[in-house]
Amino acid sequence: MRELSPLEIVRGLIPGSYATSFGNPDAAEHMRQFVGEVRRRVPELRGRKGYIVEATVIEAVEWVADNVCKVLDYRGKRSTNYFKEAWLLECSHPATGRFYMVLDEEGNGDYGCWYFGFSLTRYKREARKLFRELAEEFEREA
């Protein structure tokens, strides 16, 4: 089976919103939905085990965010055992064209919970709206 590049994986997921988690009562359902949607959108990942699909996609998204994108906006909260962060990223590469990514990640070490969500779109206005909604959530929780 041919190994896909992070850019190929992300390109296959544009447009869409995805989320997965562990350590909470909904984690199994989050992963099932996440893996199912990824397998539907990126057929080359269909024959792999669910946890491999999940890890491969998360690694691809993180690689693209770190190497292809620039940060347009950021919100974050951190303490000793807790973090909640959101990024609005603008990304452009010949393999993908221009797109926007909104990342949403939260972890709680006291409870062993983690959440990772991301949205991919070709439209800056849509990405800004998604990020604004996350920022408003941050404000409500403050």
SS (H, E, C) 53-104: HHHHHHHHHHHHHHHCEEEEEEEEEECCCEEEEEEEEEEEECCCEEEEEEEE
* Domain annotation covers residue 71: yes
Q: What is the pLDDT of residue 142?
A: 56
The rounded distance, in Å, linking the Cα atoms of 137 and 114 is 17
How many folded domains does the chain comprise? 1
The rounded distance, in Å, linking the Cα atoms of 10 and 92 is 12
User: Low-confidence residues of the chain, pLDDT below 70?
Assistant: 1-2, 142
What is residue 24's DSSP assignment? Answer: S
Q: What is the pLDDT of residue 78?
A: 83
Strand partners, 77: 84
Q: What is the pTM of this model?
A: 0.92
* Domain annotation covers residue 128: yes
* Domain annotation covers residue 1: no
H or E element, residue 127? helix 124-141
* Domain annotation covers residue 92: yes
End-to-end CA separation in angstroms for the chain: 47
Give the CB-side neighbour count of residue 84, counting CA atoms within 13 A: 8
Domain that holds residue 113: 6-141
* Domain annotation covers residue 47: yes
The rounded distance, in Å, linking the Cα atoms of 65 and 88 is 10
* Domain annotation covers residue 94: yes
